[in-house]
Amino acid sequence: MQVIRSESYKAMDRKGIRINSEIGKLEGVIIHSPGSEVENMTPNMVQKALYSDILNLSVAGKEYGQFRGVLQRYTTTWEVRDLLCQVLENDNVKNDLLARIIEHERVESLREELMQMDPSQLTKALIEGVELKRDNLSRFLSKERFELEPLHNFFFTRDASISVGQRVLISKMASRIRHRESMIMEAIFENHPAFSHRTVNPLTSSHFCKDFSFEGGDFLVAREDILLVGTGSRTTPRAIDFLIDHYKAEQVTKHIIVQELPYEPESFIHLDMVFTFLDKDLCMIYEPLIMHSSRFLTIHIAIENGKVRISEVLNIPTILRQLGMEIRTLNCGGSDDVVWQEREQWHSGANFFAVAPGKVMGYSRNTNTLEEMSRNGFAILKAKDVVANKVDINDYERCVIAIEGAELSRGGGGCRCMTMPVRRADVAW
């Protein structure tokens, strides 16, 4: 285990980005422990902040501590706050990032105040927000609390940037309130000495337009040559066209499997809320959508030698089998009751994150899902026992590390949502 500390970053070896699967042994991951930005939310801000409820930070923080503790035991972890603070020590990076944020969020009045902050103060401001100073009439009468909004969603580090192969795609987030997250992640990946890779930003794409957005929760790397992408409220077909052009230009063989998602309810926000990989031959699904939907298409885009073929297919597991991945499915919420499937999918019951093949993290509250996994050979381990070194995942062929996530799940995401992996070991398929 290696935990990166702020004072030692200059001496770190550069790590190449390498993500060729969802389940290879995890060798490095970026996380963001939730702070005051989560608690800086009131009921009247919930919809604007893309939440359905407000979180109790003292409870969510303890749950997140379990999650973080498991990751720190088995892999290298980086905190967004540390990485951002470190790159802001470079005046050129600081000036460029602030210029972009100030222009985008129209907060010219904050320029001088932000520029005078040291890296630690500025990191706090960019993540936790800057309160509105009521020093004139319009501000005094304003119903807003913040001039620079807090990043309420940033602990879902999956969305703002995406590791695919040896590249990082900088996301174009669907909601303006999350654009700053992508700007911060781009500044980190472009400037931090811990990482060595190629960054791809779609802003110059010919497909870039008003109807163009994509977020990391919709992207799953099934295999080096297979990418799964959800399209719905957060990732649009225009963004997938950008990917097609990108891979065509590289003259590589690539299969993009696209799954249409409902716009409502909000629990279908991303593909990883209805489909995640558990092992080389096993995935977790929300069965009513993945296996039985006739309204929402599954599409196979094959790219080879610069040519593109697009066709409709039955479902994701079927096309994966045709491409040589012998996938079996387990059902979120169990196989017996559609009501439990709906309830547990709502609380991220299909959203698992693998730290190694067959060794995954998920929420303990989804009891029917865990029972389904237990029946299929997964040992159910309590995260607090893993953190306390009472159990070791390496003693099990397959296991679920169950996080106490009753409060975290109310934020609308699961363990996969709270990770941005940057390196995994290759899988022996």
Residue with tokens 């995640």: 276
Domain assignment present for residue 8? The answer is no
For helices 367-375 and 338-346, what crossing angle results, to 10°?
Answer: 110
User: Total structural domains in the chain?
Assistant: 1
Domain assignment present for residue 10? The answer is no
Rounded-to-integer distance, Cα 259 and Cα 267, Å: 15
Domain assignment present for residue 130? The answer is yes
CA distances for 314 relative to 222, 237, 258, 389, angstroms: 18, 19, 12, 44
Contact assessment for residue 290 and residue 275, using Cβ atoms and an 8 Å cutoff: yes
Instruction: Sheet containing 26-31: give its strands across.
Output: 77-79, 26-31, 420-424
Domain assignment present for residue 4? The answer is no
CATH code, 137: 3.75.10.10
Domain assignment present for residue 305? The answer is yes
Per-residue pLDDT tens listing for the chain (429 residues): 333 333 334 433 566 899 999 999 999 999 999 999 988 766 555 455 445 567 888 899 999 999 999 999 999 999 999 999 999 999 999 999 999 999 999 999 999 999 999 999 999 999 999 999 988 888 888 888 899 999 999 999 999 999 999 999 999 999 999 999 999 999 999 999 999 777 888 876 666 777 899 999 999 999 999 999 999 999 999 999 999 998 998 888 999 999 999 988 778 999 999 999 999 999 999 999 999 877 899 999 999 988 999 999 999 999 999 999 999 999 999 988 999 999 999 999 999 999 999 999 999 999 999 999 999 999 999 999 999 999 999 999 999 999 998 898 888 899 999 999 999 999 998
For residue 63, the enclosing domain spans 15-424
Q: Is 326 buried (19+), middle (13-18) or exposed (0-12) by CB count in 10 A?
A: exposed
Domain assignment present for residue 238? The answer is yes
Domain assignment present for residue 254? The answer is yes
Domain assignment present for residue 7? The answer is no
Instruction: For the chain, count helices (H), then strands (E).
Output: 14, 22
Q: How far apart are the first and last CA of the chain?
A: 26
